[in-house]
Amino acid sequence: MRDTITTEEELRELIGVPSELVKRKVIAELDEHCKNFIAKSPFLMIATADENGFCDVSPRGDKPGFIYIENEHCLIIPERPGNKRMDTLRNILKNPRVGLLFFIPGLGETLRVNGKAAIIKNEEVLAKLSARGKAPIVAIRVEVEECFIHCAKAFKRSQLWEPETWLNKEAMPSAAQILFAHTKISSIEEIEQRLEEGYRTRL
Protein backbone atom coordinates (compact mmCIF):
# COMPACT_ATOMS: atom_id res chain seq x y z
CA MET A 1 0.00 0.00 0.00
CA ARG A 2 1.39 3.37 -1.03
CA ASP A 3 1.35 5.95 1.77
CA THR A 4 2.77 8.94 -0.10
CA ILE A 5 0.42 11.32 -1.89
CA THR A 6 1.90 12.48 -5.20
CA THR A 7 -0.85 14.39 -7.01
CA GLU A 8 -3.22 17.25 -6.27
CA GLU A 9 -6.10 15.04 -7.36
CA GLU A 10 -5.33 12.62 -4.52
CA LEU A 11 -5.19 15.50 -2.08
CA ARG A 12 -8.51 16.92 -3.28
CA GLU A 13 -10.19 13.56 -2.73
CA LEU A 14 -9.13 13.69 0.91
CA ILE A 15 -9.35 17.40 1.72
CA GLY A 16 -11.94 18.77 -0.68
CA VAL A 17 -12.07 22.13 -2.45
CA PRO A 18 -11.90 25.65 -0.99
CA SER A 19 -14.99 27.81 -0.72
CA GLU A 20 -15.63 30.67 -3.13
CA LEU A 21 -14.67 33.10 -0.34
CA VAL A 22 -11.28 31.44 0.07
CA LYS A 23 -10.71 31.27 -3.69
CA ARG A 24 -11.40 34.97 -4.14
CA LYS A 25 -9.56 36.38 -1.12
CA VAL A 26 -6.18 36.69 -2.87
CA ILE A 27 -5.42 40.15 -4.25
CA ALA A 28 -2.45 41.36 -6.29
CA GLU A 29 -1.64 44.57 -4.43
CA LEU A 30 -1.59 46.12 -0.98
CA ASP A 31 -4.98 47.75 -0.47
CA GLU A 32 -5.82 49.94 2.52
CA HIS A 33 -6.61 46.92 4.71
CA CYS A 34 -3.27 45.27 3.97
CA LYS A 35 -1.38 48.52 4.49
CA ASN A 36 -3.14 49.04 7.81
CA PHE A 37 -2.34 45.50 8.95
CA ILE A 38 1.35 45.88 8.06
CA ALA A 39 1.52 49.30 9.76
CA LYS A 40 0.26 47.75 13.00
CA SER A 41 2.47 44.65 12.84
CA PRO A 42 5.67 44.53 14.93
CA PHE A 43 6.73 41.09 13.70
CA LEU A 44 6.94 39.03 10.53
CA MET A 45 8.46 35.81 9.24
CA ILE A 46 10.20 35.75 5.87
CA ALA A 47 10.57 32.50 3.94
CA THR A 48 13.25 32.10 1.27
CA ALA A 49 14.97 29.33 -0.67
CA ASP A 50 18.24 29.10 -2.55
CA GLU A 51 18.67 28.02 -6.18
CA ASN A 52 18.56 24.36 -5.14
CA GLY A 53 15.36 24.69 -3.14
CA PHE A 54 16.94 24.56 0.33
CA CYS A 55 14.56 26.61 2.47
CA ASP A 56 14.86 28.99 5.38
CA VAL A 57 12.43 30.97 7.52
CA SER A 58 13.67 33.91 9.55
CA PRO A 59 12.00 36.41 11.91
CA ARG A 60 12.06 40.19 11.55
CA GLY A 61 10.69 42.57 14.14
CA ASP A 62 10.63 46.10 15.51
CA LYS A 63 8.06 48.60 16.69
CA PRO A 64 4.83 48.74 14.63
CA GLY A 65 5.41 50.81 11.51
CA PHE A 66 8.96 49.55 10.95
CA ILE A 67 8.02 48.33 7.46
CA TYR A 68 8.12 51.08 4.84
CA ILE A 69 5.26 50.80 2.36
CA GLU A 70 6.50 52.48 -0.80
CA ASN A 71 3.24 51.99 -2.69
CA GLU A 72 0.55 49.38 -3.24
CA HIS A 73 3.03 47.17 -5.09
CA CYS A 74 6.11 47.48 -2.93
CA LEU A 75 7.18 47.24 0.71
CA ILE A 76 10.63 47.53 2.26
CA ILE A 77 11.94 45.60 5.28
CA PRO A 78 14.93 47.01 7.19
CA GLU A 79 17.79 44.61 7.83
CA ARG A 80 18.64 45.20 11.50
CA PRO A 81 21.88 43.94 13.12
CA GLY A 82 21.95 40.14 13.35
CA ASN A 83 24.35 37.23 13.58
CA LYS A 84 25.93 37.87 10.14
CA ARG A 85 24.91 34.45 8.77
CA MET A 86 22.85 36.31 6.15
CA ASP A 87 20.73 33.23 5.39
CA THR A 88 17.82 35.29 4.05
CA LEU A 89 19.99 37.74 2.13
CA ARG A 90 22.13 35.05 0.51
CA ASN A 91 19.04 33.16 -0.58
CA ILE A 92 17.52 36.29 -2.12
CA LEU A 93 20.67 36.81 -4.18
CA LYS A 94 20.19 33.35 -5.68
CA ASN A 95 16.38 33.14 -5.73
CA PRO A 96 14.33 36.32 -5.26
CA ARG A 97 11.02 34.63 -4.40
CA VAL A 98 9.89 35.29 -0.82
CA GLY A 99 6.88 34.61 1.38
CA LEU A 100 6.01 36.95 4.26
CA LEU A 101 3.73 36.29 7.24
CA PHE A 102 2.75 39.32 9.33
CA PHE A 103 1.62 38.99 12.96
CA ILE A 104 -0.14 41.38 15.35
CA PRO A 105 0.08 40.29 19.02
CA GLY A 106 -3.30 39.19 20.34
CA LEU A 107 -4.83 38.93 16.87
CA GLY A 108 -5.50 35.46 15.50
CA GLU A 109 -5.59 36.40 11.84
CA THR A 110 -2.33 36.94 9.96
CA LEU A 111 -1.47 38.58 6.64
CA ARG A 112 0.38 36.64 3.97
CA VAL A 113 2.33 38.45 1.26
CA ASN A 114 4.25 36.75 -1.56
CA GLY A 115 6.51 38.41 -4.06
CA LYS A 116 9.91 39.06 -5.53
CA ALA A 117 12.69 40.52 -3.36
CA ALA A 118 15.86 42.51 -3.92
CA ILE A 119 18.51 43.83 -1.53
CA ILE A 120 18.85 47.61 -1.68
CA LYS A 121 21.30 50.16 -0.26
CA ASN A 122 19.65 53.45 -1.29
CA GLU A 123 20.62 55.88 1.48
CA GLU A 124 17.49 58.00 1.15
CA VAL A 125 15.26 54.95 1.60
CA LEU A 126 17.40 53.50 4.39
CA ALA A 127 17.14 56.77 6.32
CA LYS A 128 13.36 56.32 6.43
CA LEU A 129 13.90 52.96 8.12
CA SER A 130 16.05 54.29 10.97
CA ALA A 131 15.48 53.00 14.51
CA ARG A 132 17.26 53.83 17.76
CA GLY A 133 19.24 56.50 15.92
CA LYS A 134 20.63 54.12 13.28
CA ALA A 135 19.76 53.50 9.66
CA PRO A 136 20.10 49.92 8.41
CA ILE A 137 23.06 49.08 6.17
CA VAL A 138 20.74 47.39 3.65
CA ALA A 139 17.04 46.58 3.29
CA ILE A 140 14.86 44.03 1.53
CA ARG A 141 12.55 45.48 -1.12
CA VAL A 142 9.61 43.22 -1.97
CA GLU A 143 7.56 43.61 -5.13
CA VAL A 144 4.14 42.35 -4.06
CA GLU A 145 2.54 39.72 -6.29
CA GLU A 146 -0.21 38.44 -4.01
CA CYS A 147 -1.52 39.03 -0.52
CA PHE A 148 -4.37 37.70 1.57
CA ILE A 149 -5.65 37.37 5.11
CA HIS A 150 -5.17 34.00 6.83
CA CYS A 151 -7.70 32.71 9.34
CA ALA A 152 -7.09 32.32 13.08
CA LYS A 153 -7.60 28.55 13.43
CA ALA A 154 -3.94 27.75 14.16
CA PHE A 155 -3.82 30.41 16.87
CA LYS A 156 -7.06 29.21 18.44
CA ARG A 157 -5.89 25.59 18.45
CA SER A 158 -2.50 26.47 19.90
CA GLN A 159 -3.87 29.14 22.30
CA LEU A 160 -0.76 31.10 21.35
CA TRP A 161 -1.91 34.47 22.67
CA GLU A 162 -3.35 33.12 25.95
CA PRO A 163 -0.77 33.82 28.71
CA GLU A 164 -2.06 31.05 30.98
CA THR A 165 -0.87 28.49 28.40
CA TRP A 166 2.64 29.91 28.09
CA LEU A 167 5.55 27.74 29.14
CA ASN A 168 7.47 28.64 32.27
CA LYS A 169 10.97 29.51 31.05
CA GLU A 170 12.46 27.35 33.79
CA ALA A 171 10.90 24.29 32.14
CA MET A 172 13.35 24.50 29.24
CA PRO A 173 17.12 24.80 28.83
CA SER A 174 18.24 28.36 28.15
CA ALA A 175 19.41 29.50 24.72
CA ALA A 176 22.96 29.56 26.11
CA GLN A 177 22.68 25.95 27.27
CA ILE A 178 21.41 24.84 23.87
CA LEU A 179 24.12 26.79 22.02
CA PHE A 180 26.80 25.29 24.23
CA ALA A 181 25.46 21.77 23.63
CA HIS A 182 25.46 22.34 19.87
CA THR A 183 28.79 24.16 19.51
CA LYS A 184 30.95 23.02 22.45
CA ILE A 185 32.49 26.50 22.33
CA SER A 186 33.35 28.59 25.38
CA SER A 187 31.07 28.06 28.40
CA ILE A 188 27.39 28.48 29.17
CA GLU A 189 28.15 31.52 31.31
CA GLU A 190 30.21 33.23 28.61
CA ILE A 191 27.60 32.51 25.95
CA GLU A 192 24.91 34.00 28.22
CA GLN A 193 27.01 37.13 28.64
CA ARG A 194 27.54 37.44 24.89
CA LEU A 195 23.83 37.04 24.21
CA GLU A 196 22.85 39.62 26.81
CA GLU A 197 25.43 42.08 25.52
CA GLY A 198 24.10 41.66 22.00
CA TYR A 199 20.51 42.22 23.14
CA ARG A 200 21.60 45.30 25.07
CA THR A 201 23.92 46.97 22.56
CA ARG A 202 23.22 45.63 19.06
CA LEU A 203 19.49 45.90 18.40
- The tens digit of pLDDT for each residue in 11-21 reads 999 999 999 99
In the prediction, which pLDDT does 29 show?
Answer: 98
List of residues 6+ apart from 174 with CB closer than 8 A: 188, 192
In the prediction, which pLDDT does 2 show?
Answer: 76
- Nearest to 175, CA basis, from 198, 195, 190: 195
Does the pLDDT of residue 147 top 70, yes or no?
A: yes
148 within 8 A of 112, measured Cβ to Cβ: yes
3-state secondary structure (DSSP) of residue 13: helix
Average of per-residue pLDDT values in the chain: 97
In the prediction, which pLDDT does 77 show?
Answer: 99
In the prediction, which pLDDT does 1 show?
Answer: 56
- Nearest to 155, CA basis, from 107, 189, 99: 107
Q: What is the average per-residue pLDDT within 157-182?
A: 96
Q: What is the pLDDT of residues 37-81, one digit of tens each?
A: 999 999 999 999 999 999 999 999 999 999 999 999 999 999 999
CATH homologous superfamily, domain 20-158: Electron Transport, Fmn-binding Protein; Chain A (2.30.110.10)
* pTM given for the model: 0.95
**Any idea what DSSP says for residue 131?**
B
Does the pLDDT of residue 196 top 70, yes or no?
A: yes
- The ranges of the chain annotated as CATH 2.30.110.10 are 20-158
